[in-house]
Homo-oligomer: A and B are copies of this chain.
């Protein structure tokens, strides 16, 4: 495995691979790897010849009051984990090379990004779409892998690739969870012991909602209330949103029918966590 910092070296390497007829799989990350990331690597290794993992904490997807500075970083440890998982190249570009002085170009995906995290984090998805476009152009993958944990992001990237004719297959892989159901996230490391215990309520509340719906509940408001009640019972929890949306357009629904997603964003003290499940209702 090698680590490449230089953008044009990465681009040249990608073109070399293509000339040799090899397909490239890209796993874009912000580093501080966990088993969620590694599940993407595993999938990439199955379908493509060369697996590139990008590690870049992208400032333009963080709001001014968000955790860009504090976001956990540990390249050495990431390199060990990536090597063990079979990554061929880590692409770890410098901030000043990705956004040189005078940088001015942005990619936006409308509609899908207006609800959920798009509502509470203005500019977030523009930042993601922009950096992913850049990574795609540099690494030139045939397939790119995203996690279902960031459902709205993954759907946006899929839509962007389609709309802009990027000729890249976007694969969305299932959420990987801790033993108590908490969705893996680099931000879990922020949690204190008691916050960590409280955070398990996210998935528990989603499972409770699923049970309610399987038992016939069709009123979205009632399901939301049940989730909120469970989360509010935890001392460190502060709800940002609990929403039921249609799984295609991510618009709020009132009546539960068809393929739906339940998505939650909750602060545990200063740590913002998200989770979701999708349910098919006949």
Contacts and interface: CB of A to CB of B under 8 A. Distances in A.
A160 interface: yes
Nearest to A133: B164
Given A137-B166, A137-B167, A138-B165, A159 B109 contact: no
A134 B164 contact: yes
Interface in A144-171: 159-160, 163-167
Contacts of A165: 7, 11, 134, 137-138
Contact of A110 (B7, B106, B164, B167): B106
A105 interface: yes
A20 to B, nearest CB: 12
A106 B107 contact: yes
A112 interface: yes
Contacts of A133: 164
The contact size tier of chain A is: 20 to 34
A133 B7 CA distance: 20
A222 interface: no
A11 B167 contact: yes
A102 interface: yes
A111 interface: yes
Interface in A76-116: 102-112
Given A107-B107, A138-B165, 16 more contacts: A7-B165, A102-B111, A104-B109, A104-B159, A104-B163, A105-B109, A105-B110, A105-B160, A105-B163, A106-B107, A106-B108, A130-B164, A134-B163, A134-B165, A137-B165, A137-B167
